[in-house]
């Protein structure tokens, strides 16, 4: 369905007078924005888990015999906030997808 | 506006040839419908005229210009796609003005043309909506508006009504026809629906397996189908076709079927005695009679209100009749049907070609 639609859009844009570069910039890229946003958000959230040091540092608490659960949970909650914020911001972009211009 | 001529056009994909040399001449201002079953090459031919598919051999002319090597945007055509192909991220106004904007037309000109097209199509109140906020019929109209603003030489329609529901399709059919009468732009319209073809076309091109079977006005195709394929494709319910052997004896002619039924023919007929033929009679050219005529056993009765469709069995073969009178046809009962002799079509059983007296 997606390739079919893209082909039709390309055909329509070609007849309308757009060259390949403009078809990508004016038609394909705007239509791909929601998908690009989604991929971007996933990439960011995944890297937040692995790479950002404060999150990784949480694991240090688990090494000692008497784990301070209250501290662990408090820090965890605070560090969970940025990814959550990112998630909710990007979600708005993702669901603002375009529909209805083609029927498959 | 311009004429379009297609001369000996072929399309091959590698070793596979899908269009085997097609010739069609379309005069200026005509509404031509390409019709045929799925895979007959009609959409491919349209896309070749549009410039979206390369032409493997032959020539396509728009006006006096050979367009084989000209890119779509310079062919001065506009195309309406089956699934609308509206740009979802643009409003109706932007969608319709997109081609003019790409051509660097002045904003004032764009506004004026879009306004005018919107007025013709009744889209003025919807200009600032996005495609997703429109109904199917409205989207289809925007797709047509996008074509109209260009004021092209030729309109190309690729099954534009297939996605609409039955009622809307009938309505849009009339709208497109009225639009053509108003604008008088040469139009090429592809469909697989023979009713659409019959109702809209000035001339119909019937295609099958990459060749043209027949070109003619709707009534020419209906009254004088050139071969079995066209006879079977045009008309709903489909024509009754019964195989048999042509018999000629003095003034009397008839077709003898294997089951031993004699199908009546007029006094003047083509073909020779003993020739294998197919006897064709349209359902609406059968009349119920008392006693004389073909004895059939009624199987299914379908009242449509205006007409009654009767499917019956004639010694093993199924035969359909359409009658405007409301007679009490009951399944299982016997009925006699009289073919109108001047409406009988005879085809050669081997070649499928029409026999002409």
Structural domain contains residue A101: no
How would you write chain B as a 3-class SS string? Answer: CCCEEEEEEEEEECCEEEEEEEEEEECCCCEEEEECCCCCCHHHHHHHHHCCCCCCEEEEEECCEECCCCCHHHCCEEEECCCCCCCCCCCHHHHHHHHHHHCCCCHHHHHHHHHHHHHHHCCHHHCCCCHHHCCHHHHHHHHHHHHHCCCCCEEEEECCCCCCCHHHHHHHHHHHHHHHHHHCCEEEEEECCHHHHHHHCCEEEEEECCEEEEEECHHHHHHCCCEHHHHHHCCCCCCEEEEEEEEEECCEEEEECCCCCEEECCCCCCCCCCCEEEEEECHHHEEEECCCCEEEEEEEEEECCCCEEEEEEECCEEEEEEECCCCCCCCCCEEEEEECHHHCEEEECCCCEECCC
Whether the per-residue pLDDT at A10 is higher than 80: the answer is yes
pLDDT value of position A104: 43
Structural domain contains residue A32: yes
CATH code: domain of residue B155 = 3.40.50.300
Do B183 and B60 share a structural domain? yes
Which among B295, B347, B338, B289 is positioned nearest to B317, based on CA atoms? B295
Whats the size of chain A, residue-wise?
104
Query: Stretch A56-63: mean pLDDT, rounded?
Result: 66
CA–CA distance, B320 with B198 (Å, rounded to integer): 21
Structural domain contains residue A16: yes
Closest alpha carbon within chain B to A22: B102
pLDDT value of position B271: 85
Give the contacts of A42 (CB within 8 A, at least 6 positions apart).
Answer: none
Give the contacts of B156 (CB within 8 A, at least 6 positions apart).
Answer: B46, B49, B50, B77, B78, B79, B80, B187, B188
Tally A–B CB contacts below 8 A: 86
| Residue among A2, A8, A9, A15 with most chain B CBs within 10 A, to mutate | A15
C-alpha distances in Å from residue B162, one per residue of B168, B274, B324: 10, 45, 30
Is A8 in contact with B81 (Cβ distance < 8 A)? yes
Structural domain contains residue B355: no
Structural domain contains residue B356: no
Q: Which has the higher per-residue pLDDT, A71 or B111?
A: B111
Distance in Å, alpha carbon of B133 to nearest chain A alpha carbon:
7
C-alpha distances in Å from residue A58, one per residue of A46, A64, A74, B117, B245: 16, 12, 11, 64, 93
pLDDT beneath 70, residues of chain B: 357
Do B334 and B289 share a structural domain? yes
Distance in Å, alpha carbon of A49 to nearest chain B alpha carbon:
34
Residue A6, phi then psi, degrees to nearest 5:
-60, -40
Do B94 and B55 share a structural domain? yes
Structural domain contains residue A68: yes
Beta pairing partners, B280? B241, B345
Structural domain contains residue A102: no
CA–CA distance, A95 with A35 (Å, rounded to integer): 10
pLDDT value of position A56: 63
pLDDT tens track for A75-94: 778 877 877 887 787 776 66
Closest alpha carbon within chain A to B91: A101
Do B40 and B148 share a structural domain? yes
Do B265 and B224 share a structural domain? no
pLDDT tens track for B78-104: 999 988 889 988 999 999 999 999 989
CA–CA distance, B137 with B330 (Å, rounded to integer): 41
- Domain end position, chosen among B232, B261, B277: B232
Q: Which domain holds residue B207?
A: 4-232
Contacts of A99 in chain B (CB under 8 A): 88, 132
pLDDT value of position A98: 56
Tell me which residue in A11, A22, A98 faces B88 most closely, judged by beta carbons. A98
Do B196 and B334 share a structural domain? no
Q: Phi-psi bin for B252: left (phi > 0), alpha (psi -120 to 50), beta?
A: beta
Tell me which residue in B103, B130, B133 faces A17 most closely, judged by beta carbons. B103
Q: Contact at 8 Å (CB) between A53 and A60?
A: no
Interface of B with A (CB under 8 A): 47, 50-52, 71-73, 77-79, 81-89, 98-99, 102-103, 130-134, 136, 139, 146, 163
| Residue among B85, B102, B148, B157 with most chain A CBs within 10 A, to mutate | B85
pLDDT value of position B79: 93
User: Residue A83: how many CB atoms within 10 A of its CB?
Assistant: 18
**Complex ipTM over 0.90:** no
Beta pairing partners, B215? B205
Structural domain contains residue A10: yes
Q: Which domain holds residue A13?
A: 2-95
Exposure string over B33-44, b if 16+ CB within 10 A, otherwise e: bbbbeeebbbbb
Do B14 and B136 share a structural domain? yes
Do B42 and B21 share a structural domain? yes
Is A14 in contact with B83 (Cβ distance < 8 A)? no
pLDDT value of position A97: 54
Do B183 and B306 share a structural domain? no
pLDDT value of position B9: 95
Which among A100, A92, A15, A4 is positioned nearest to B87, based on CA atoms? A100
Contacts of B89 in chain A (CB under 8 A): 30-31, 98
CATH code: domain of residue B260 = 2.40.50.140
Query: Per the structure, how many domains does chain A have?
Result: 1
CA–CA distance, B206 with B221 (Å, rounded to integer): 9
Closest alpha carbon within chain A to B100: A16
Say if A9 is an interface residue toward chain B (CB within 8 Å): yes
Q: Give A102's pLDDT tier (boundaries 50, 70, 90).
A: low
Query: Per the structure, how many domains does chain B have?
Result: 2
Contacts of B134 in chain A (CB under 8 A): 100
Which among B104, B141, B101 is positioned nearest to B123, based on CA atoms? B141
pLDDT value of position A93: 64
């Amino acid at each position: 369905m997606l390739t079919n639609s893209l082909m039709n859009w390309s055909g329509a844009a070609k007849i309308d007078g757009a060259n390949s570069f403009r078809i990508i910039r004016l038609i394909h890229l705007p239509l791909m924005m929601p998908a690009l946003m989604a991929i971007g958000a996933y990439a960011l959230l995944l890297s937040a888990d692995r790479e950002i040091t404060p999150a990784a540092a949480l694991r240090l608490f688990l090494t000692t015999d008497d784990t301070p659960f209250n501290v662990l949970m408090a820090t965890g909650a605070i560090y969970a906030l940025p990814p959550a914020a990112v998630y909710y911001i990007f979600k708005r972009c993702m669901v603002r997808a375009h529909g209805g211009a083609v029927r498959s | 506006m311009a004429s379009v001529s297609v001369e000996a056009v072929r399309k091959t994909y590698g070793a596979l040839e899908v269009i085997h040399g097609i010739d069609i001449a379309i005069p200026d201002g005509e509404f031509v419908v390409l019709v045929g079953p799925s895979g007959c090459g009609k959409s491919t031919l349209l896309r070749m005229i549009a410039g979206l598919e390369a032409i493997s051999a032959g020539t396509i002319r728009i006006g006096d210009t050979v367009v084989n090597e000209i890119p779509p945007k310079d062919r001065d055509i506009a195309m309406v796609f089956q699934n609308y192909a509206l740009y979802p991220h643009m409003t109706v106004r932007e969608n319709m003005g997109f081609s003019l904007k790409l051509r660097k037309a002045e904003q004032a000109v764009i506004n004026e043309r879009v306004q005018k097209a919107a007025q013709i199509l009744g889209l003025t109140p919807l200009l600032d909506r996005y495609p997703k906020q429109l109904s199917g019929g409205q989207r289809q109209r925007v797709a047509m508006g996008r074509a109209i603003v260009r004021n092209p030489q030729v309109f190309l329609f690729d099954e534009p009504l297939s996605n609409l529901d039955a009622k809307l399709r009938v309505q849009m059919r009339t709208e497109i026809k009225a639009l053509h009468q108003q604008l008088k732009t040469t139009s090429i319209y592809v469909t697989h629906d023979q009713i659409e073809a019959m109702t809209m076309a000035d001339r119909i091109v019937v295609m099958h397996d990459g060749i043209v079977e027949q070109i003619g006005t709707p009534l020419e195709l209906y009254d004088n189908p050139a071969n079995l394929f066209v006879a079977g494709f045009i008309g709903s319910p489909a024509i009754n076709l019964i195989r048999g052997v042509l018999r000629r004896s003095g003034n009397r002619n008839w077709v003898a079927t294997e089951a031993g039924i004699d199908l009546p023919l007029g006094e003047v007929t083509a073909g020779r005695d003993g020739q294998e033929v197919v006897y064709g009679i349209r359902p609406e050219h059968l009349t119920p009679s008392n006693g004389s005529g073909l004895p059939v056993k009624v199987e299914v009765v379908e009242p449509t209100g205006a007409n009654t469709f009767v499917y019956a069995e004639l010694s093993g073969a199924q035969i359909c009749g359409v009658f405007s009178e409301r007679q009490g046809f009951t399944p299982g009962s016997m009925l006699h049907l009289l073919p109108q002799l001047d409406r009988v079509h005879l085809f050669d059983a081997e070649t499928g070609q029409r026999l002409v007296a």
